[in-house]
Amino acid sequence: MVTFMIQLLRNNILLSLAMLLCLTANANAWQEAPQAESSPPAPLSFKANVAQILQDQCVACHGAKKAEGGYRVDTFSKLKQPGDSGVEPVVASQIDKSELIRRLVTEDASERMPEGGDRLPDVQIELLKRWVQEGAAYDGANQDENIATIIPPIQYPNGPEHYALPIPVTAVVWNAAGDAVVTGGYHELLVWNANDGKFIRNIPNMPQRVHALKWHPDGKQLVVAGGTPGRIGEVRFVDFESGQVTRVLPRNGDVVLDIAFSPDGTRLATAGADAMIRIYDITSAEEKAPQIFSSHSDWVYSIGWSADGKRLASASRDKTAKFFDMEKSELLLTYSGHGSAVRGVAFAPNGAEVYSVGADHKVHRWKSENAQKSGEFGTGSESMRIGATAGVCWVASANKQLRLYDMEKNAEIRALPGHNDWVLAADYHPATQKVVASGHNGEVIIWNKDDGKELVRWVAKK
Is the CATH number 3.40.50.170 carried by domain 172-459? Answer: no
Across residues 357-377, what is the average pLDDT? 94
Lowest mean pLDDT among 56-60, 347-351, 431-435, 446-450: 56-60
pLDDT for res 158: 94
Residues 253, 55 contacting (CB under 8 angstroms): yes
Q: Give per-residue pLDDT as tens, 23-47.
A: 333 434 333 334 445 567 788 999 8
Q: Is the pLDDT of residue 9 over 50?
A: no
218 φ/ψ angles, rounded to the nearest 5 degrees: -75, -10
Question: pLDDT (tens digit, 9 = 90+) per residue, 198-221?
Answer: 999 999 999 999 999 999 999 999
User: Among residues of the chain, what percentage have pLDDT more than 90?
Assistant: 74
Write down the pLDDT at residue 38.
54
How confident is the model over 284-294, as a mean pLDDT? 82
pLDDT value of residue 251: 85
Cα 24 from chain centroid (whole Å): 24
Distance CA 335, CA 216 (A): 30
- Mean pLDDT of the region 345-373: 94
Evaluate if residue 253 carries a pLDDT over 90.
no
Question: In sequence order, what are the residues at sequence separation of 6 or more whose Cβ sits closer than 8 angstroms to the Cβ of residue 327?
Answer: 310
pLDDT tens digits, residue range 410-462? 889 999 999 999 999 999 999 999 999 999 999 999 999 999 999 999 999 99
**Buried/exposed 185-198: b ≥16 CB within 10 Å, e otherwise:** bbbbbbbbebeebe
Does pTM top 0.75 for this prediction? yes
For the chain, the average pLDDT equals 89
List every span in the chain annotated with CATH 2.130.10.10: 172-459
